Amino acid sequence: MPVKPVAFNQTVLRDGHQSLAATRMTTAQMLPVAPLLDEMGFHGLETWGGATIDACLRFLHENPFDRLRALKKAAPKTPQIMLLRGQNIVQYTSFPDDVVEAFVRANAAAGQDVFRIFDALNDTRNLRTAIKTVLACGKHARGEICYTTSPVHTTAAFVKMGIELEAMGCQSIGIKDMAGIMKPQVARELVTALKQRVGLPLILHTHDTAGLGASTYLAAVDAGVDVIETSITPFANGTSQPDTLRMLALLDGHPRCPDYDVEKLKELANYFKGVYAELSQFTSPANERVDADTLAYQVPGGMLSNFRNQLKEQNMADQFDAVVAEIPHVRKALGYIPLVTPTSQIVGSQSMLNIKFGRWKNISQPAIDIVLGKYGKTPGPIDEELLARILKQTGKEPMTDRPADILEPRMPKLREELKAKGLPTDDEACVLHAMFPNEFAALAQPAASAATKPPPAAPVVQPAAPVTPPTAMPPGPATRLRLTIDGRAHDISVEELT
């Protein structure tokens, strides 16, 4: 029996530019090559989700649903893929079930085919509503396992989650190695174990931040992975996915090497060189090279490079090593949570606070919420001393229910709010208003909002969800700090625990 070739998903229109150009590629820059991408025969095109919705509204002044419709029309043959943060949708906090359902319905109606659904804690309860709604819309639900390393993140634990995702109705399983720390031998072991226990197609997604991505893909191909995800230079390698031409060269002569048109790939790469040049203010050599610190601290490369820049701005450049060395301690204390949006931001900002004010002297509200179970069940136990201090300070007990179970439905209220503003009240408008109310209002009523529109944000050279260390302030009860995520400022409070 002939061996089935491995298939490639193409990420250049989403994760490629999110990782290397701050998600700033415009729809106008995508459309000229969408038909050529559609002709390549890729297993799927990742075009939406992650930070693209935020970037469309905040920086590019585009309607993200219009982008999806335009790309679907320009590339109708290839399934289009989005990245969905489970109950967080594409934001940093949980939303009620009815908002999640409306988002999925609107997305499916606009042309989305495949939904990559993950939870930052790998709490499958936070995936339930999204998976159920995707299936009800007749679309493909791909359950994601966020890969990380810790004493509690074993092959057996990941396989157990894969089995749960299959039981929940997922039609494929994705392994999401967001920091690019999966080693080839681990890929071989995990893919083999999942293929033996879960009867679903298996996709591996990694980044080449630490220089492991291509070799990890090769090991996974040997182990039988069905699909790997690649990008196209110059939106490839570094903190992005390995380049498509590079992977084809590495697989040349392999019995599972796929047949993609090399000349057309060169044509695509040549086109994207021009786009990369146009986005030069958002790119950085720091994101293009191998960063071994990723392996040492097990955090995404973009997060490390952002710390370098932001600590310098805060006159804390000499404390960079101390801050990143604190990250593993904070992560362990918070139950070995994976470092992916939004937990990477929570751990990163708390590490800065620990170095600035003393370990656990000031604690951000999001970190407190992790301890209190408001994001879901952590993979490992919370540090006992930290838990006791937070329980004493807040007077609250950790919740054990699914976080969304305590949230009231919001869709009727969202429609009322939009109607009162004279804005559309369909599902698209409601979900954008729920997540990005100011940005959506500015887009829907540009003339009315022109006078109050904030000035353009300064260029951001980091990939998805960077962390800005809060402004220096003296420690004390109810201290207010400002955290910047994906270029968006969030005011947070921190508690001084004694």
Residue 178 one-letter amino acid: M
Distance from chain centroid for Cα 258: 28
Look at 145-159, 233-247, 277-291, 410-424 and tell me which has the smallest mean pLDDT: 277-291
pLDDT tens for 146-185 read 999 999 999 999 999 999 999 999 999 999 999 999 999 9
How would you classify the pairing of strands 479-485 and 488-496? antiparallel
Contact criterion met (CB below 8 Å) for 118 and 376: no
* C-alpha torsion sign, points 430, 432, 434, 437: negative
pLDDT tens for 60-81 read 999 999 999 999 999 999 999 9
How would you classify the pairing of strands 479-485 and 227-230? unpaired
Look at 16-20, 105-109, 245-249 and tell me which has the smallest mean pLDDT: 16-20
Question: pLDDT-based confidence at 292, cuts 50/70/90?
Answer: confident
Q: What residues contact residue 347 under an 8 Å CB cut-off, 6+ apart?
A: 299, 327, 330, 331, 334, 337, 339, 367
Instruction: Transcribe 288-319 into DSSP letters.
Output: HS--THHHHH-S-HHHHHHHHHHHHHTT-GGG
Burial of 240 (0-12, 13-18, 19+ CB in 10 A): buried
Q: Select from 23, 124, 116, 111 the least CA-distant residue to 74.
A: 111
Question: pLDDT-based confidence at 294, cuts 50/70/90?
Answer: confident
Q: Select from 94, 82, 105, 90 the least CA-distant residue to 11.
A: 82
How would you classify the pairing of strands 362-364 and 488-496? antiparallel
Q: What percentage of the chain has pLDDT greater than the value 90?
A: 79
Ordered structural domains, the chain, with CATH: 7-285 (3.20.20.70), 291-399 (1.10.472.90), 405-446 (no CATH)
The mean pLDDT of 342-354, rounded to a whole number, is 90
Q: What residues contact residue 412 under an 8 Å CB cut-off, 6+ apart?
A: none
Question: pLDDT-based confidence at 451, cuts 50/70/90?
Answer: very low
The mean pLDDT of 357-378, rounded to a whole number, is 95
End-to-end CA distance of the chain: 68
* Plot region of 123 (φ>0 → left; ψ -120 to 50 → alpha; else → beta): beta
Contact criterion met (CB below 8 Å) for 342 and 92: yes
Alpha carbon distances (Å) from 477 to 128, 348, 370, 372, 482: 38, 21, 19, 19, 16
Matching residue, tokens 């110059």: 234
pLDDT tens for 418-439 read 999 999 999 999 999 999 999 9
Question: pLDDT-based confidence at 479, cuts 50/70/90?
Answer: very low
